[in-house]
A and B are shown apart, each in its own frame.
Chain A
Amino acid sequence: MGDVALSIEQLTVEVEGREILHNTNLEMKLGETHVLFGPNGSGKTTLLMAIMGFPKYRVTRGKIVFKGQDITTLTLDERARLGIGMSFQRPPVVRGVKMRDMVAACLRDQKSEGRINQLAEETNLADFLDREINYGFSGGELKRSELMQLLAQKPELTLIDEPESGVDLVNIALIGELINKLLEKDCPILERRCMGLIITHTGHILDYVNARTGYIMCNGVIGCSGDPHEILATIREKGYEECIKCFLRRASGG
């Protein structure tokens, strides 16, 4: 098995003075994909934003260690250059900045016209290169644009927030395919280095992307972990209400 490459230790995060994430622990090894389930408002996005390093998500306790380095106090761009990337659920529009320029920026010293066009073809966004980033994009286009940028950026750890939200059935298969590519799913397991941490509310993405471990988040803590398909089956059968009840029972020692 590979080494632990991401280690989240007793992480407590507050947003605008309110504690959202409490004492959270999580470990990922090289090449692994993990999935975060949980009801809305459970803290899934907060965990991803804190790992990425958004200043609004303030770590008040604990630490984040990536490839042996404590990154808890590093800025967004420092973390990005260390190999962490993020696919946003609702990325902002940046007027005037073309997709082409953004992909070129993500490619850094690897940038070439040919590579940019190739990525656009792969993500079915060839007609979008001269459009302003995310301006007037549909749900599926937004996700594909995020993945095109990430395929150019090639992070070792990709944080993916709700890849299926707002996406129709035609797009979801392509999105699954692109995530698999990003996470090197075509590589033999032992040679895989890229890691993914995916938030999914509905679990649909698991029809396309395999994951090793699943977690359920509730009220800012990771309640349990296990086989993602088993967790999803339980959620589908009993709903998140049952998860919350289970947490409360265990929290009160019952």
Chain B
Amino acid sequence: MVETASSKAHKDKAKAAAAKPAAFGEDIDLGAYASSTEEQPSQIDPSKLPAKAKERMLGAGVILDDPGQRAGTFIQMDNAPVHSSVRQEGVEVMAVSQALRKYDWLLDYWWRTVAVDTDKYTASVELNQHNGYFIRTLPGHKTIYPVQACLYLARAQLAQNVHNIIIAEENSELHIITGCTTASNEEAGLHLGVSEFYIKKGAKVTFTMIHNWNPEVAVRPRTGVMIEENGLFLSNYVLMKPVRSLQMYPTARCVGENAVVRFNSILVASPGSSLDVGSRAILDAKGAKTEIISRAITNGGSIVARGYIEGNAPDVKGHLECRGLILTGEGTIHAIPELKGTLAGIDLSHEAAVGKIAEEEVEYLMTRGLTRSEATATIVRGFLRVDIEGLPPLLGAELQRAIEASEKDLM
């Protein structure tokens, strides 16, 4: 069992917020899910995990048969960590429970970027927390290959509560790919994940998250990011497979001068999927910059695509771009871009567009000899292509492959 790390104050706040609904998204009945603390056998060699689990994890970008492509690996099944390993000096990867035992100071990072009483989901993580990952790069160390983390829902009807802490010490560079998935294609489950990122001076973190749930799973990630002077946080989020209900609104706060945050999201809502996904950037320091880009496609599900940029310091710059494509008559996309400026000398902008595939474009491609379905597929593929600045080429190619692998389900 995981030792409790938080102070009594956190617990008290969590208890007070235990029934507090989230600001957005459908209210999930937490009582409908089981809370398990069952241990899982740990696995030193992750390639020996069951083939089916490995296949599901691979679908979410987690490679277990070729560790050479990863700087480290963390795997948690339900609420129990089963593997953590590191292949590069200057990188730490372990279960957060272990990290709490190892580092007294880790408590200083607990609930600093996400308020424990944000809603009943954060409260539930505090009150029922069963691990999560701790990933840290030491000062000046740069990972070449990404660290991978997988949060795997194995048992049906289970609530998975995780609290992850990611720290990039000064002038370090850390690439993370995290895949979240389920054993079953159909059983219900709940994933509650708190992730707190601390990007110190001059550090760079890229965080690529591929979600591969099933049509019965509800997901409530709660993410906070703090970026110090000249730091960079780049988030790429991909959800192309069905999920019942997903709501998240990660918030990045640029607290140091010239800090940069970029969010890219690719969302596909299948029939029965309800997504409410946003990205929020608070620019609190001079010269901070952000870019938030989302591409949303529905072929029958509903999407609320939010974006929020707040400029509170001189010379900050932010741009928000939200484009939505409705492939069938059934789906809905609601784009809600918001900008807030609190002083002169800031530069914030947004563009949003929601529509169907333009017939003019389809016909144009058809005059070059493409059939109607080839032309449509080409346009959809183009729509989903986001050129991501700052992502290592290997990771960029992997991300593109993951997107392309799911594209055919859309047609």
Q: How far is the CB of A79 from chain B (nearest CB, A)?
A: 8
Q: 1/0 per residue B229-248: CB within 8 Å of A?
A: 00000000000000000000
Known contacts A77-B372, A105-B378, A132-B382; A94/B361 CB under 8 A? yes
Q: Across the interface, do A106 and B364 meet the contact criterion of CB distance under 8 Å?
A: no
A101 in contact (CB, < 8 A)? yes
Known contacts A76-B363, A92-B358, A94-B361; A105/B370 CB under 8 A? yes
Q: Considering the complex, give the chain B residue whose CB is closest to the CB of A94.
A: B361
A80 in contact (CB, < 8 A)? yes
A102-B361 Cα distance, complex, nearest whole Å = 12
Q: Across the interface, do B383 and A102 meet the contact criterion of CB distance under 8 Å?
A: no
Chain B 340-370 residues near chain A, CB threshold 8 A: 358, 360-361, 363-370
The count of A-to-B residue pairs whose CB atoms sit within 8 angstroms is: 67
Q: Considering the complex, give the chain B residue whose CB is closest to the CB of A134.
A: B364
Q: How far is the CB of A92 from chain B (nearest CB, A)?
A: 5
The number of chain B residues touching the other chain, given as a range, is 20 to 34
Q: Across the interface, do B364 and A91 meet the contact criterion of CB distance under 8 Å?
A: yes
Known contacts A54-B363, A76-B363; A96/B368 CB under 8 A? no
Q: Across the interface, do A102 and B368 meet the contact criterion of CB distance under 8 Å?
A: yes
Most interface-central of B358, B361, B368 (chain A CB within 10 A): B368
Q: Across the interface, do A153 and B369 meet the contact criterion of CB distance under 8 Å?
A: yes
Instruction: Please indicate the chain A residues that have their CB under 8 angstroms from the CB of B101 in the complex.
Output: none
Q: Across the interface, do B360 and A77 meet the contact criterion of CB distance under 8 Å?
A: no
Q: Across the interface, do A88 and B366 meet the contact criterion of CB distance under 8 Å?
A: no
Q: Considering the complex, give the chain B residue whose CB is closest to the CB of A130.
A: B387
A97-B384 Cα distance, complex, nearest whole Å = 10
The number of chain A residues touching the other chain, given as a range, is 20 to 34
Chain A 152-175 residues near chain B, CB threshold 8 A: 153
Q: How far is the CB of A149 from chain B (nearest CB, A)?
A: 6
A52 in contact (CB, < 8 A)? yes
Instruction: Please indicate the chain A residues that have their CB under 8 angstroms from the CB of B323 in the complex.
Output: 95
Would you list the 9 A-B pairs with minimal beta carbon distance, nearest first?
A96-B382, A97-B382, A76-B366, A80-B369, A77-B366, A96-B385, A92-B360, A94-B361, A106-B368
Beyond A86-B367, A101-B378, 15 extra complex contacts between A and B, CB < 8 Å: A76-B366, A76-B367, A77-B367, A85-B368, A94-B361, A94-B364, A94-B382, A96-B382, A96-B383, A96-B384, A97-B381, A98-B382, A105-B369, A105-B378, A132-B382
Chain B residues in contact with chain A, CB under 8 A?
A: 323, 358, 360-361, 363-372, 374-375, 378-379, 381-385
Q: Could you show 13 A-B contacts with beta carbons less than 8 Å apart?
A: A55-B363, A75-B366, A75-B372, A76-B367, A80-B367, A92-B360, A94-B361, A94-B382, A95-B382, A98-B382, A105-B370, A153-B368, A153-B369
